[in-house]
Structure 1
Amino acid sequence: MSQSEHVYSDDEIRARLAGPLEHWYLEDGWLRRKYKTESWKGTLMVVATIGHLAEAAWHHPDLTVSYAFVIVKLKTHTAKGITDKDFALARKIEEVVQWQPGREGGPLEGTPSDDQRFRYIKYDAPKDASQS
Structure 2
Amino acid sequence: MSAREKQKTFSEEEAAARLAAELPHWFVEGGWIRRRYRTSSWKGTLMVINAVGHLAEAAWHHPDITASYAWVEVRLMSHDAKGITERDFALARKIEEVIGWQPGLEGGALEGTPTDDLRFAYIKHDKPKA
- 1:44 aligns with one of 21, 43, 46: 46
User: 1:19, CA displacement in angstroms?
Assistant: 4.2
> Which residue does 1:23 correspond to in 2?
25
Q: Could you state the TM-score of these two structures normalised by the residue count of structure 2? A: 0.95
In 1, Cα distance between equivalents of 2:21 and 2:14? 14
> Which residue does 2:118 correspond to in 1?
116
In 1, Cα distance between equivalents of 2:49 and 2:21? 24
Gaps of 5+ in 2: none
User: 1:16, CA displacement in angstroms?
Assistant: 1.0
**C-alpha root-mean-square deviation of aligned residues, in Å?**
0.8
User: 1:2, CA displacement in angstroms?
Assistant: 2.1
- 1:97 aligns with one of 78, 96, 99: 99
User: 1:71, CA displacement in angstroms?
Assistant: 0.4
In 1, Cα distance between equivalents of 2:5 and 2:96? 27
- Identity among equivalent pairs (%): 64
Gaps of 5+ in 1: none
> Which residue does 1:127 correspond to in 2?
129
User: 1:15, CA displacement in angstroms?
Assistant: 1.5
The runs of 4+ residues in structure 1 deviating greater than 3 Å are none
In 1, Cα distance between equivalents of 2:5 and 2:45? 36
- Aligned residues, how many? 128
Q: Report whether the alignment pairs 1:33 with 2:32.
A: no
Q: String of CA shifts for 1:47-106, please: whole Å, max 9, x gaps.
A: 000000000000000000110000000000000000000000000000000100011111
> Which residue does 2:78 correspond to in 1?
76
3-state SS, counterpart of residue 64 of structure 1: strand
3-state SS, counterpart of residue 17 of structure 1: helix
One-letter code aligned to 2:43: K
